[in-house]
């Protein structure tokens, strides 16, 4: 059965395994550090995506609760016997208009939350990619003797 290791333990195992392997002009330590930073960036991006999704779910539940409260208030108001049918239909039309407007605003709010989460996660990965390319260029430069 395979052993479970943390990311740090896996890096140490990799370094031990590759410790005696020498390749002229290749800095194994720098490459290991580069990969460690890649793993950290992916971990951070996943964390940001998860936090954004959790915020989206909280907001979605809050909106569902508000919608149910609004629906209940509308049904209670519509069921009042002292109003004429014309008045009831007029109020129903007004409730419907408000519900559509609020629904569209809520949809925009939820879309903005998800866009923000994705933008934050992608920003971490994009930044790390740029840094990784720079690191690769530096590692490819011949070392002065």
Would the pTM of this model clear 0.75, i.e. be above it? no
- For the chain, the first-to-last Cα distance in angstroms comes to 47
CA–CA dist 53, 118 (Å, integer):
9
CA–CA dist 102, 129 (Å, integer):
40
CA–CA dist 81, 79 (Å, integer):
6
| pLDDT score, position 115 | 95
The per-residue pLDDT for range 8-67, each reduced to its tens digit, is 566 566 666 655 556 556 677 888 899 999 999 999 999 999 999 999 999 999 999 999
The per-residue pLDDT for range 65-115, each reduced to its tens digit, is 999 999 898 888 777 777 787 887 888 889 889 999 999 999 999 999 999
């Amino acid at each position: 059965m395979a052993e479970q290791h943390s990311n740090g333990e896996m890096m140490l195992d990799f370094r031990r395994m590759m410790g005696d392997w020498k390749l002229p002009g290749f800095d194994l330590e720098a490459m290991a550090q580069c990969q460690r930073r890649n793993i950290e960036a992916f971990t951070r991006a996943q964390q940001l995506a998860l936090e954004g999704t959790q915020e989206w779910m909280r907001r979605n539940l809050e909106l569902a609760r508000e919608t149910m409260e609004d629906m209940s208030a509308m049904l209670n108001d519509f069921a009042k016997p002292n109003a004429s049918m014309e008045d009831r239909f007029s109020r129903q039309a007004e409730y419907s208009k408000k519900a559509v407007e609020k629904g569209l605003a809520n949809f925009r709010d939820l879309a903005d939350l998800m866009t923000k989460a994705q933008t934050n996660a992608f920003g971490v990965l994009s930044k790390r990619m740029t840094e990784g390319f720079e690191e690769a260029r530096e590692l490819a430069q011949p070392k002065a003797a």
